[in-house]
Amino acid sequence: MSNEKILPDDAAKILFPFDVAGIRAEMARLLGIPKCGNYVRQLLDLVSRNAQPANKLVAGGDVLKVFDLVQQQRGLVRAGDTAHSALPGANFADGSIEGGNARIQVGNVRPGVAVTMDELKAMYVKSDARFCLHETLHHCGRLVYSDQEYAIAASTINGNNPPLPVPPPGPNSRFIFSQYWDAELRKSFK
C-alpha cells in the first residue's frame, strides 16, 4: 500500500470494503476480555428471559455464531452503499434471523487526521467490530432484541447508575436507548 495520506473528509466518503475475517477476529478478541464476555452473557441472559416467547435466543447466545448466521443471510452493508440497498443512517440491525434476511449496516469512519490506506484499514476493522458486536447482539433474538430491551438490561446490571434515560415520545427514542446501552457495553472492552 501507498504511504500517501488521505484527508479526513475524503476518507469518510470511501465505501470501504468489509474485512469480515478481521472484524470477526476483533469481535472474538473483545468477547475474550473477561469483563466483556461476562457483560455480554449477562445482557443476553436478562434480555432473553424478558423477551416475548417467540423471540427466542439464537445459537444459545453465541455471538460469533450469530454473526456467522448474519453473514449467511444478507451480511454486512456500508451506509451510503445504495448499489447494495443501504438505508439512510449509520449503524443498525436490519431484518431478522427468523425472517432469513438478517443484515447489519455499518457507517463510515472519519479519522481526525490525514491517514494512510493501511491506517484507515486498521481503523475500520476496529470500528466495524465494535458496531458489529452491538448490532449482532440485536440479532441474538430470533425476531431481534430492541435497544430498549438492552437499555433496561444494562440499567439493571449497572444498578441504574447511570440512570436509564427517559426519551421523548416518538421513533427517535431508540437512538437514546441505543446510545445508553452501547456506552455501557463499551465500558466492558477495557
Please give the chain's pLDDT, 190 residues, in tens.
568 999 999 998 889 999 999 999 999 999 999 999 999 999 999 999 999 999 999 999 999 999 999 999 999 999 989 999 998 778 999 999 999 999 999 999 999 999 999 999 999 999 999 999 999 999 999 999 999 999 999 999 999 999 999 888 877 788 999 999 999 999 999 8
Eight-class DSSP state of 6: B
Residue 2 falls inside a structural domain: no
Tell me if 86 sits within 8 A of 80, measured CB to CB. Answer: yes
| pLDDT at residue 2, rounded to an integer | 66
Look-up: residue for cell 431478522? Answer: 96
Task: Answer yes or no: is 146 within a domain.
Answer: yes
Q: Where are the alpha helices (DSSP H) in the chain?
A: 8-13, 20-32, 34-50, 63-72, 117-139, 147-157, 173-187
What single-letter DSSP state applies at residue 17?
A: P
Question: Helix, strand or coil for residue 175?
Answer: helix
Instruction: Look at the chain and report how many structural domains it folds into.
Output: 1
Give me the amino acid identity at 115: V
Q: Please check whether residue 5 is in contact with residue 116, taking contact to mean a CB–CB distance below 8 angstroms.
A: yes
Q: Say if 3 falls within a structural domain.
A: no
Q: Residue 127 and residue 123: Cα distance in Å, rounded?
A: 6
Q: Is 1 domain-assigned?
A: no
Q: Is residue 74 part of a domain?
A: yes
Global pTM value = 0.95
CB atoms within 10 A of CB 12: 15
Examine residue 71 and state whether it is found in any structural domain, yes or no.
yes
User: Can you tell me the distance from the alpha carbon of 63 to that of 88, in angstroms, rounded to the nearest whole number?
Assistant: 26
In 3D, which of 186, 189, 138, 180 has the Cα closest to residue 160?
180
What is the domain extent for residue 152? 8-187
140 found inside a domain: yes
Assigned domain for 164 exists: yes
